[in-house]
Chain A
Protein backbone atom coordinates (compact mmCIF):
# COMPACT_ATOMS: atom_id res chain seq x y z
CA UNK A 1 0.00 0.00 0.00
CA UNK A 2 2.87 2.37 0.57
CA UNK A 3 4.11 4.52 -2.25
CA UNK A 4 7.72 5.16 -1.50
CA UNK A 5 8.78 7.00 -4.64
CA UNK A 6 7.79 10.46 -3.43
CA UNK A 7 9.51 10.21 -0.07
CA UNK A 8 12.81 11.47 -1.49
CA UNK A 9 11.21 14.92 -1.70
CA UNK A 10 10.50 14.96 2.04
CA UNK A 11 12.63 16.52 4.81
CA UNK A 12 15.35 14.29 6.28
CA UNK A 13 13.52 13.40 9.47
CA UNK A 14 10.64 12.00 7.40
CA UNK A 15 13.00 10.11 5.08
CA UNK A 16 14.44 8.35 8.12
CA UNK A 17 10.97 7.48 9.42
CA UNK A 18 9.71 6.09 6.14
CA UNK A 19 6.10 5.90 5.05
CA UNK A 20 5.15 2.35 6.01
CA UNK A 21 1.81 2.20 7.80
CA UNK A 22 2.66 0.69 11.19
CA UNK A 23 -0.68 -1.00 11.76
CA UNK A 24 -1.84 -4.56 11.31
CA UNK A 25 -5.20 -6.30 11.15
CA UNK A 26 -6.60 -9.55 12.56
CA UNK A 27 -5.72 -12.61 10.49
CA UNK A 28 -7.81 -13.13 7.33
CA UNK A 29 -9.46 -9.79 7.92
CA UNK A 30 -9.58 -8.77 4.27
CA UNK A 31 -10.67 -12.24 3.13
CA UNK A 32 -13.68 -12.02 5.42
CA UNK A 33 -14.58 -8.39 4.90
CA UNK A 34 -16.65 -8.97 1.78
CA UNK A 35 -18.84 -11.63 3.39
CA UNK A 36 -19.24 -9.48 6.53
CA UNK A 37 -20.50 -6.57 4.42
CA UNK A 38 -22.78 -8.77 2.31
CA UNK A 39 -24.31 -10.37 5.39
CA UNK A 40 -24.95 -6.92 6.88
CA UNK A 41 -26.70 -5.95 3.66
CA UNK A 42 -28.71 -9.18 3.63
CA UNK A 43 -29.72 -8.82 7.29
CA UNK A 44 -30.79 -5.25 6.94
CA UNK A 45 -33.85 -5.24 4.72
CA UNK A 46 -34.01 -1.47 4.67
CA UNK A 47 -30.63 -1.38 2.96
CA UNK A 48 -31.71 -1.62 -0.64
CA UNK A 49 -30.09 0.08 -3.57
CA UNK A 50 -31.85 3.33 -4.13
CA UNK A 51 -33.10 3.81 -7.64
CA UNK A 52 -32.93 7.46 -8.66
CA UNK A 53 -36.07 7.25 -10.80
CA UNK A 54 -37.92 5.64 -7.88
CA UNK A 55 -37.03 8.62 -5.71
CA UNK A 56 -38.04 11.05 -8.42
CA UNK A 57 -41.45 9.41 -8.84
CA UNK A 58 -42.04 9.48 -5.05
CA UNK A 59 -41.04 13.15 -4.92
CA UNK A 60 -43.24 13.95 -7.92
CA UNK A 61 -46.23 12.21 -6.28
CA UNK A 62 -45.78 14.24 -3.11
CA UNK A 63 -45.47 17.43 -5.12
CA UNK A 64 -48.64 16.62 -7.06
CA UNK A 65 -50.60 15.86 -3.87
CA UNK A 66 -49.33 19.05 -2.23
CA UNK A 67 -50.22 21.15 -5.29
CA UNK A 68 -53.74 19.72 -5.53
CA UNK A 69 -54.27 20.23 -1.80
CA UNK A 70 -53.02 23.81 -2.02
CA UNK A 71 -55.30 24.59 -4.98
CA UNK A 72 -58.36 23.10 -3.27
CA UNK A 73 -57.57 24.95 -0.05
CA UNK A 74 -57.11 28.35 -1.71
CA UNK A 75 -60.22 27.87 -3.85
CA UNK A 76 -62.35 27.28 -0.78
CA UNK A 77 -60.89 29.89 1.50
CA UNK A 78 -60.22 33.05 -0.56
CA UNK A 79 -62.20 36.24 0.26
CA UNK A 80 -63.10 36.44 -3.45
CA UNK A 81 -64.87 33.13 -3.06
CA UNK A 82 -66.75 34.38 0.01
CA UNK A 83 -67.67 37.61 -1.82
CA UNK A 84 -68.93 35.63 -4.80
CA UNK A 85 -71.13 33.45 -2.65
CA UNK A 86 -72.52 36.58 -0.92
CA UNK A 87 -73.38 38.13 -4.30
CA UNK A 88 -75.00 34.91 -5.45
CA UNK A 89 -77.12 34.81 -2.28
CA UNK A 90 -78.23 38.43 -2.75
CA UNK A 91 -79.18 37.82 -6.38
CA UNK A 92 -81.15 34.66 -5.67
CA UNK A 93 -82.74 35.49 -2.32
CA UNK A 94 -83.53 39.26 -2.44
CA UNK A 95 -86.46 40.67 -4.37
CA UNK A 96 -85.40 42.44 -7.58
CA UNK A 97 -87.50 45.56 -6.99
CA UNK A 98 -86.06 46.06 -3.50
CA UNK A 99 -82.59 45.62 -4.89
CA UNK A 100 -83.21 48.26 -7.63
CA UNK A 101 -84.53 50.70 -5.02
CA UNK A 102 -81.45 50.21 -2.82
CA UNK A 103 -79.08 50.71 -5.75
CA UNK A 104 -80.95 53.89 -6.87
CA UNK A 105 -80.73 55.33 -3.35
CA UNK A 106 -77.05 54.50 -3.21
CA UNK A 107 -76.46 56.34 -6.52
CA UNK A 108 -78.50 59.36 -5.36
CA UNK A 109 -76.46 59.54 -2.17
CA UNK A 110 -73.24 59.44 -4.13
CA UNK A 111 -74.41 62.27 -6.45
CA UNK A 112 -75.48 64.43 -3.48
CA UNK A 113 -72.15 63.87 -1.80
CA UNK A 114 -70.28 64.87 -4.97
CA UNK A 115 -72.37 68.05 -5.41
CA UNK A 116 -71.79 69.07 -1.79
CA UNK A 117 -68.07 68.51 -2.15
CA UNK A 118 -67.94 70.71 -5.27
CA UNK A 119 -70.02 73.49 -3.74
CA UNK A 120 -68.03 73.61 -0.53
CA UNK A 121 -64.49 73.28 -1.82
CA UNK A 122 -64.32 74.73 -5.33
CA UNK A 123 -64.01 78.46 -5.97
CA UNK A 124 -67.20 79.88 -7.55
CA UNK A 125 -65.31 81.80 -10.29
CA UNK A 126 -63.39 78.67 -11.31
CA UNK A 127 -66.61 76.72 -11.42
CA UNK A 128 -68.31 79.27 -13.68
CA UNK A 129 -65.27 79.38 -15.98
CA UNK A 130 -65.11 75.60 -16.30
CA UNK A 131 -68.82 75.37 -17.03
Chain B
Protein backbone atom coordinates (compact mmCIF):
# COMPACT_ATOMS: atom_id res chain seq x y z
CA UNK B 1 0.00 0.00 0.00
CA UNK B 2 1.24 3.46 -0.85
CA UNK B 3 2.07 5.54 2.14
CA UNK B 4 0.13 8.72 2.69
CA UNK B 5 2.45 11.58 3.64
CA UNK B 6 2.53 12.32 7.37
CA UNK B 7 1.52 15.95 6.84
CA UNK B 8 -1.76 14.93 5.16
CA UNK B 9 -2.65 12.43 7.89
CA UNK B 10 -1.86 14.95 10.60
CA UNK B 11 -3.76 17.81 8.98
CA UNK B 12 -6.81 15.60 8.51
CA UNK B 13 -6.59 14.23 12.05
CA UNK B 14 -6.46 17.70 13.58
CA UNK B 15 -9.67 18.59 11.80
CA UNK B 16 -12.69 17.24 13.73
CA UNK B 17 -14.60 16.54 10.48
CA UNK B 18 -11.86 14.41 8.86
CA UNK B 19 -10.41 12.87 12.04
CA UNK B 20 -11.86 9.39 11.54
CA UNK B 21 -10.85 9.36 7.89
CA UNK B 22 -7.26 10.24 8.84
CA UNK B 23 -7.13 7.60 11.55
CA UNK B 24 -8.49 4.98 9.21
CA UNK B 25 -5.80 5.92 6.69
CA UNK B 26 -3.14 5.63 9.35
CA UNK B 27 -4.34 2.20 10.51
CA UNK B 28 -4.49 0.89 6.95
CA UNK B 29 -1.02 2.22 6.20
CA UNK B 30 0.77 0.90 9.26
CA UNK B 31 -1.27 -1.99 10.68
CA UNK B 32 0.65 -4.81 8.99
CA UNK B 33 4.12 -3.45 9.65
CA UNK B 34 3.32 -2.78 13.29
CA UNK B 35 1.59 -6.11 13.79
CA UNK B 36 4.55 -8.10 12.41
CA UNK B 37 7.01 -6.04 14.41
CA UNK B 38 5.06 -6.81 17.59
CA UNK B 39 4.39 -10.42 16.65
CA UNK B 40 8.08 -11.15 16.13
CA UNK B 41 8.76 -9.89 19.66
CA UNK B 42 5.90 -11.47 21.62
CA UNK B 43 5.42 -14.50 19.29
CA UNK B 44 1.84 -15.28 20.26
CA UNK B 45 -0.87 -13.98 17.89
CA UNK B 46 -3.39 -13.11 20.63
CA UNK B 47 -0.80 -11.13 22.57
CA UNK B 48 0.30 -9.35 19.39
CA UNK B 49 -3.32 -8.55 18.55
CA UNK B 50 -3.94 -7.02 22.00
CA UNK B 51 -0.77 -4.98 21.83
CA UNK B 52 -1.30 -3.65 18.31
CA UNK B 53 -4.80 -2.51 19.26
CA UNK B 54 -3.48 -0.82 22.41
CA UNK B 55 -0.85 0.91 20.29
CA UNK B 56 -3.43 2.33 17.88
CA UNK B 57 -5.62 3.46 20.78
CA UNK B 58 -2.63 5.30 22.24
CA UNK B 59 -2.04 6.80 18.81
CA UNK B 60 -5.69 7.94 18.65
CA UNK B 61 -5.31 9.64 22.00
CA UNK B 62 -2.00 11.34 21.26
CA UNK B 63 -1.76 11.98 17.52
CA UNK B 64 -3.22 15.48 17.82
CA UNK B 65 -0.28 16.50 19.98
CA UNK B 66 2.34 14.71 17.85
CA UNK B 67 5.21 17.18 17.51
CA UNK B 68 6.39 16.25 14.01
CA UNK B 69 10.07 16.30 14.97
CA UNK B 70 10.15 12.66 13.87
CA UNK B 71 8.29 10.63 11.24
CA UNK B 72 4.96 9.06 12.23
CA UNK B 73 6.49 5.72 11.29
CA UNK B 74 9.34 5.95 13.86
CA UNK B 75 6.93 7.33 16.47
CA UNK B 76 4.57 4.36 15.95
CA UNK B 77 7.46 1.91 16.16
CA UNK B 78 8.62 3.55 19.40
CA UNK B 79 5.17 3.20 20.96
CA UNK B 80 4.87 -0.40 19.74
CA UNK B 81 8.33 -1.37 20.99
CA UNK B 82 7.72 0.20 24.40
CA UNK B 83 4.38 -1.60 24.66
CA UNK B 84 6.13 -4.90 23.87
CA UNK B 85 8.84 -4.30 26.46
CA UNK B 86 6.19 -3.42 29.07
CA UNK B 87 4.26 -6.55 28.12
CA UNK B 88 7.35 -8.79 28.42
CA UNK B 89 8.31 -7.26 31.78
CA UNK B 90 4.78 -7.72 33.09
CA UNK B 91 4.80 -11.30 31.89
CA UNK B 92 8.14 -11.87 33.64
CA UNK B 93 6.71 -10.50 36.89
CA UNK B 94 3.56 -12.59 36.65
CA UNK B 95 5.44 -15.72 35.70
CA UNK B 96 6.99 -17.95 38.34
CA UNK B 97 9.49 -19.28 35.81
CA UNK B 98 12.85 -17.59 35.12
CA UNK B 99 13.48 -15.41 32.07
CA UNK B 100 15.37 -18.23 30.31
CA UNK B 101 12.48 -20.61 30.95
CA UNK B 102 10.08 -18.00 29.63
CA UNK B 103 12.01 -18.02 26.34
CA UNK B 104 11.89 -21.81 26.33
CA UNK B 105 8.15 -21.77 26.98
CA UNK B 106 7.62 -19.41 24.04
CA UNK B 107 9.82 -21.62 21.86
CA UNK B 108 7.75 -24.68 22.84
CA UNK B 109 4.58 -22.73 22.10
CA UNK B 110 5.83 -22.06 18.55
CA UNK B 111 5.50 -25.68 17.51
CA UNK B 112 2.04 -25.98 19.03
CA UNK B 113 0.72 -22.74 17.57
CA UNK B 114 -1.80 -22.90 14.75
CA UNK B 115 -0.30 -19.70 13.40
CA UNK B 116 3.26 -20.91 12.88
CA UNK B 117 3.98 -22.00 9.33
CA UNK B 118 7.76 -22.21 9.26
CA UNK B 119 10.09 -25.02 8.22
CA UNK B 120 12.67 -26.68 10.51
CA UNK B 121 15.35 -24.08 9.89
CA UNK B 122 12.96 -21.19 10.47
CA UNK B 123 11.79 -22.83 13.68
CA UNK B 124 15.38 -23.24 14.83
CA UNK B 125 16.11 -19.59 14.05
CA UNK B 126 13.07 -18.46 16.08
CA UNK B 127 14.14 -20.70 18.96
CA UNK B 128 17.64 -19.22 18.80
CA UNK B 129 16.22 -15.67 18.74
CA UNK B 130 14.19 -16.47 21.85
CA UNK B 131 17.39 -17.17 23.79
CA UNK B 132 18.50 -13.55 23.29
CA UNK B 133 17.88 -10.80 25.86
CA UNK B 134 14.71 -8.91 24.90
CA UNK B 135 16.41 -5.71 23.66
CA UNK B 136 18.95 -7.67 21.60
CA UNK B 137 16.05 -9.67 20.18
CA UNK B 138 14.29 -6.48 19.12
CA UNK B 139 17.44 -5.15 17.43
CA UNK B 140 18.00 -8.45 15.61
CA UNK B 141 14.39 -8.63 14.42
CA UNK B 142 14.33 -5.05 13.19
CA UNK B 143 17.58 -5.45 11.26
CA UNK B 144 17.24 -9.00 10.00
CA UNK B 145 13.54 -9.31 9.19
CA UNK B 146 12.63 -5.71 8.49
CA UNK B 147 15.98 -4.49 7.10
CA UNK B 148 15.50 -1.30 9.07
CA UNK B 149 18.31 1.24 8.81
CA UNK B 150 20.39 1.74 11.95
CA UNK B 151 19.56 5.47 11.85
CA UNK B 152 15.82 4.72 12.02
CA UNK B 153 16.36 2.07 14.69
CA UNK B 154 18.30 4.62 16.68
CA UNK B 155 15.30 6.99 16.60
CA UNK B 156 12.93 4.20 17.65
CA UNK B 157 15.05 2.73 20.43
CA UNK B 158 16.85 5.88 21.58
CA UNK B 159 20.23 4.09 21.30
CA UNK B 160 23.29 5.14 19.30
CA UNK B 161 23.88 3.47 15.93
CA UNK B 162 27.25 2.20 17.21
CA UNK B 163 25.60 0.44 20.14
CA UNK B 164 22.94 -1.01 17.82
CA UNK B 165 25.57 -2.39 15.43
CA UNK B 166 27.38 -3.99 18.36
CA UNK B 167 24.12 -5.41 19.69
CA UNK B 168 23.26 -6.92 16.29
CA UNK B 169 26.75 -8.38 15.94
CA UNK B 170 26.48 -10.05 19.39
CA UNK B 171 23.02 -11.36 18.54
CA UNK B 172 24.28 -12.97 15.32
CA UNK B 173 27.19 -14.57 17.21
CA UNK B 174 24.86 -16.01 19.86
CA UNK B 175 22.48 -17.35 17.20
CA UNK B 176 25.41 -18.92 15.34
CA UNK B 177 26.53 -20.58 18.58
CA UNK B 178 23.00 -21.87 19.15
CA UNK B 179 22.94 -23.31 15.61
CA UNK B 180 26.24 -25.12 16.22
CA UNK B 181 25.05 -26.57 19.52
CA UNK B 182 21.59 -27.72 18.38
Query: Does residue B93 face the partner (Cβ distance < 8 Å to A)?
Result: no
Cα distance A6–B31 in the bound complex, in angstroms: 24
Report yes or no: A23 in contact with B19, Cβ–Cβ below 8 A: no
Q: A34-B31, A51-B65 are in contact. Are A13 and B176 (CB under 8 A)?
A: yes
Cα distance A3–B53 in the bound complex, in angstroms: 25
Complex interface residues of chain A between 86 and 118 (CB less than 8 A to chain B) = none
Question: Interface of B with A (CB < 8 Å)?
Answer: 13, 19-20, 23-24, 27-28, 31-33, 35-36, 39-40, 43, 45, 49, 52-53, 56-57, 60-65, 115-119, 121-126, 144-147, 172, 175-176, 179
Q: Which of B27, B115, B146 contacts A34 (CB 8 A)?
A: B27
Total of A-B residue pairs, C-beta within 8 Å:
110
Contacts of B117 in A (CB 8 A): 22-24
Report yes or no: B144 in contact with A19, Cβ–Cβ below 8 A: yes
Contacts of A123 in B (CB 8 A): none
Cα distance A65–B145 in the bound complex, in angstroms: 53
Query: Does residue A74 face the partner (Cβ distance < 8 Å to B)?
Result: no
Contacts of B118 in A (CB 8 A): 20, 22-23
Contacts of A19 in B (CB 8 A): 144-145, 147
Contacts of A48 in B (CB 8 A): 61
A24 to chain B, nearest CB (A): 5
Contacts of A30 in B (CB 8 A): 31-32, 35
A55 to chain B, nearest CB (A): 8
- Chain A 33-51 near chain B by CB (<8 Å), digits 1 or 0: 1101110110010011111
Report yes or no: B121 in contact with A16, Cβ–Cβ below 8 A: yes
Report yes or no: B122 in contact with A50, Cβ–Cβ below 8 A: no
Cα distance A44–B60 in the bound complex, in angstroms: 12
Cα distance A93–B124 in the bound complex, in angstroms: 95
Cα distance A17–B63 in the bound complex, in angstroms: 39
Q: Which residue of B lies closest to A34 (CB)?
A: B27
Report yes or no: A1 in contact with B126, Cβ–Cβ below 8 A: no
Report yes or no: B60 in contact with A34, Cβ–Cβ below 8 A: no
Query: Does residue A26 face the partner (Cβ distance < 8 Å to B)?
Result: yes
Report yes or no: B36 in contact with A37, Cβ–Cβ below 8 A: no
Q: Which of B27, B52, B57 contacts A47 (CB 8 A)?
A: B57
